[in-house]
Amino acid sequence: MSDLVLVLNSGSSSIKYQLLHSDSAEVLASGLVERIGEDSGRIVHEAGPAKLVYDGKIPDHKAGLARAFEMFRETGLDLKTLGIGAVGHRVVHGGEVFWKPTLITDEVLHAIEKLSVLAPLHNPANVVGIESTRELLPDLPQVAVFDTAFFHTMPDAARTYAIDAKIAAAQDIRKYGFHGTSHQYVSEKAAEFLGKPAEDLNQIVFHLGNGASASSIQGGVAIDTTMGMTPLEGLVMGTRPGDLDPGITPYLMRAADLDVSGVEQLLNRNSGLKGLSGVNDFRELQKLIDTGDADAKLAYDVYVHRLRRYLGAYLVQLGTVDAIVFTAGVGENSPAVRADALAGLQNLGIEIDPERNETRTPGIRRISPDFAPVDVLVVPTNEELAIARAAHKLVSA
Ligand code: ADP
């Protein structure tokens, strides 16, 4: 089976895509369809040196994909005749049903749709993306790769919320965790870099992008993660608060007269760094801090405080830690966050070499001194490649 895979990540108003060889990781083309359903949409498509931009109304996902597939043709890549082996879809919530890459059939698609109750902001968009691709490329096998899958191994003590057990069971309320594809990918890459099997290593992974999560990985198996039943729990994120006293929600509904969608809007779009400082982008936050902005500084301090709280929790859970891994936009690019997250922990064997931390090189790098007992690594994530490999493996089996 050809190792060429088209990977799609469909959001509510956007679709990210990449066409790549899953063996060599060579990317033939990639692009982003944005502002679907709005007055004016945009597609940016890149294939080698060619960059095509489309500006115009994109009424729905299928229209956006159809236009993007034309742009593939315009750059000499006809998706129907290229010999693509599979289409891999990122699907956010697999619930208790899916914890392995899964070939998409009508039944599977229906089950993913049913899981929309657990992820109303994500799964419906994933379903629309899958339906559109199936219509446009009906002859290709389509594979769903779930963001929750890697955390399926969490023990009951980590995944159970202490609420009425009958209600929790009836409503499927438990910790599922997200960003699993990235946590798994970077922890495997870290093991490769350290020249040891993942089974022999305990790792703490910080995936710090717009969304952010940490995980505690014992011998290659995830035993805890910060995100919960939804991607709202845990670390402070660009626009989400992470951990919050659950009493705040009913309080706000009463005191500030917010309804369900008002609360959802507040917690998903207007909290986190944005809620505290007005900006959700970390680079902008850093610029504000440099101008002496007190709100931005507090946002940064809250962000780092939360990272350290989970670092402490996971150090205790694991007992011994071999590697601490930073990944995603902030994790890969902010030396300040890495240094502040791990400051003052020399007695625990955790140390950062300031020069290594500041030196930017592509690929995986160690930022701890050679003598430090705990390896601190920066590992670029590549969720598209991980999805492509999972999809190729499934259809080749
Ligand atoms: P996502 O995939 O969740 O949308 P990313 O992993 O691309 O997010 O991370 C986006 C975040 O990374 C943004 O907050 C952005 O400001 C931050 N980021 C990117 N580059 C840098 C940098 N050089 N320094 C600090 N933060 C950065």
DSSP annotation of 363 reads: S
From the CB of 123, is ligand 1 less than 6 Å away?
A: no
- Say whether domain 4-146 belongs to CATH 2.40.50.100: no
Across the range 13-32, mean pLDDT stands at 97
Ligand 1 pocket check for 329: Cβ under 6 Å: yes
Share of residues in the chain with pLDDT > 70 (%): 100
In the chain, what is the straight-line distance between the N-terminal and C-terminal CA atoms, in Å?
Answer: 9
User: Which one of 206, 283, 361, 382 would you pick to mutate in the ligand 1 pocket, going by the greatest count of ligand atoms within 8 A of its CB?
Assistant: 283
Q: Tell me the pLDDT tens digit for each residue of 331-348.
A: 999 999 999 999 999 999
Place of tokens 């409503």: 171
Tell me 116's DSSP state.
G
DSSP secondary-structure letter at 320? S
CA distances from 255 to 250, 251, 264, 265, 366 (A): 8, 6, 16, 17, 49
Residue 1 has pLDDT above 90, yes or no: no
Residue 252 has pLDDT above 90, yes or no: yes
With 90 as the cut, is the pLDDT of residue 35 above it? yes
CA of residue 283 to ligand 1 center, whole Å: 7
Domain limits, the chain: 4-146, 196-383
Report the percentage of the chain scoring pLDDT > 90. 97
Structure tokens, 137: 């490329």
pLDDT value for 12: 87
On the 0-12 / 13-18 / 19+ scale of CB atoms within 10 A, 51 is exposed
Q: Where are the alpha helices (DSSP H) in 151-259?
A: 156-159, 165-170, 180-194, 248-255
- Whether residue 120 has pLDDT greater than 90: no
Q: Is 228 annotated for ligand binding? A: no
Q: What is the per-residue pLDDT for 209? A: 96
> Is the distance from CB of 91 to CB of 176 less than 8 angstroms?
no
Cα(303)–Cα(46) distance, integer angstroms: 34
- Tell me what pLDDT residue 119 has: 87
Coil, helix or strand at residue 7: strand
CA 239 → CA 184, 209, 211, 271, 354, distances in Å? 24, 11, 8, 5, 30
Has 282 been labeled as part of a binding site?
Answer: yes
Pick the CATH number of 196-383 from 3.30.420.40, 3.90.226.10, 3.40.190.170, 3.30.300.30: 3.30.420.40
pLDDT value for 312: 98
| Mean pLDDT to the nearest integer, 180-202 | 98
For the record, the structure tokens of 1 come out as 């089976």
What's the pLDDT at 121? 83
Q: For residue 249, which amino acid is it?
A: T
Instruction: Report whether 16 belongs to an annotated binding site.
Output: yes
How do beta strands 41-47 and 27-34 pair? antiparallel
> Residue 266: phi, psi to the nearest 5?
-60, -45
Domains 4-146 and 196-383 share a fold: yes
Q: Determine which residue's CA is closest to atom 16 belonging to ligand 1.
A: 282
Q: Which residues contact 330 (CB under 8 A, 6 or more apart)?
A: 208, 209, 212, 282, 337
Tokens 């694991």 label which residue? Answer: 318
The arithmetic mean of pLDDT across residues 160-179, rounded, is 97
Is the predicted pLDDT of residue 230 greater than 90, yes or no?
yes
User: What is the pLDDT at residue 235?
Assistant: 98
Tell me, what amino acid is at 27?
A: V
Question: pLDDT: is 117 or 103 the higher one?
Answer: 103
The label of the residue with tokens 């493996």 reads 393
Q: Which atom of ligand 1 is nearest to the CA of 273?
A: 14
What is the C-alpha to C-alpha distance for residues 75 and 28, in angstroms, rounded to an integer? 10
- Tokens 């982008």 belong to 281
DSSP conformational letter for 153 = G
Residue 250, pLDDT above cutoff 90: yes
Which backbone phi and psi does 366 adopt, to 5 degrees?
-95, 130
Separation between Cα atoms, residue 100 and residue 150, nearest integer Å: 8
| Ligand 1 atom nearest to CA at 280 | 14
Give the active site residues.
Answer: 147
